Amino acid sequence: MQQNKLMKRTAIYCVMFVVTAMSAMLYYSANKIVVVADVAQDEVIQSAQKEQEKETTLTAVVDKNRITIEKERQNTNYFCIPMPDTVKAEEVTLENHYMDQELWVNIQGDMAGYDTFYEQNSVYGNSQNVLEGHFEVEASRIYLRFSLTGVYEYRSIFEDHTLYVEFVPSKEVYEKIIVIDPAYGAAVSGVSAEGVMAKDITLDIAKALKAKFDETDIKVYYTRMDDSNPAPENRVNLATATKADMLIRIEVNGDENSKLYGTESVYNSRYFIPGFGSVELADILEREVVTAINGKANGLVEAAETDEVIGAATVPAAAVRVGYLTNGQESILLQREDYIKRIAEGIYNAVLKAYEGEV
Alpha-carbon distance of 40 to 60, in angstroms, equals 27
Query: pLDDT at position 63, please?
Result: 62
Q: Within this chain, do residues 101 and 177 fall inside the same structural domain, yes or no?
A: no
Domain count along the chain: 2
Between 290 and 21, the more confident residue is 290
* 81-136 residue pLDDT tens: 999 998 999 999 999 999 999 999 999 977 677 778 988 999 999 999 999 999 99
Residues 6+ apart with CB under 8 A from 312: 232, 233, 236
Residue 187 maps to a domain:
yes
Q: Please say if the pLDDT value at position 3 is more than 80.
A: no
Which helix H or strand E contains 79, and what residues bound it? Answer: strand 79-82
Residue 21 maps to a domain:
no
Yes or no: say if 154 and 94 are a contact pair by the CB < 8 Å rule. Answer: yes
What's the pTM value of the predicted model, to 2 decimals?
0.86
Query: pLDDT at position 40, please?
Result: 85
Q: Within this chain, do residues 321 and 227 fall inside the same structural domain, yes or no?
A: yes
Residues 6+ apart with CB under 8 A from 148: 101, 102, 103, 129, 130, 131, 167
* Domain around 43: 33-168
Q: Please say if the pLDDT value at position 227 is more than 60.
A: yes
pLDDT exceeding 90 applies to what percent of the chain?
70
Q: Within this chain, do residues 160 and 200 fall inside the same structural domain, yes or no?
A: no
Q: Within this chain, do residues 251 and 226 fall inside the same structural domain, yes or no?
A: yes
Q: Please say if the pLDDT value at position 32 is more than 60.
A: no
Alpha-carbon distance of 277 to 68, in angstroms, equals 45
> Average pLDDT of the chain?
87
Query: pLDDT at position 35, please?
Result: 57
Instruction: State which of 113, 134, 168 marks the end of a domain.
Output: 168
Residue 6 maps to a domain:
no
Query: pLDDT at position 8, please?
Result: 47
Residue 236 maps to a domain:
yes
Q: Please say if the pLDDT value at position 347 is more than 60.
A: yes
The alpha carbon of 187 is separated from its chain's Cα centroid by a whole number of angstroms, namely 23
Average pLDDT (244-258) is: 97
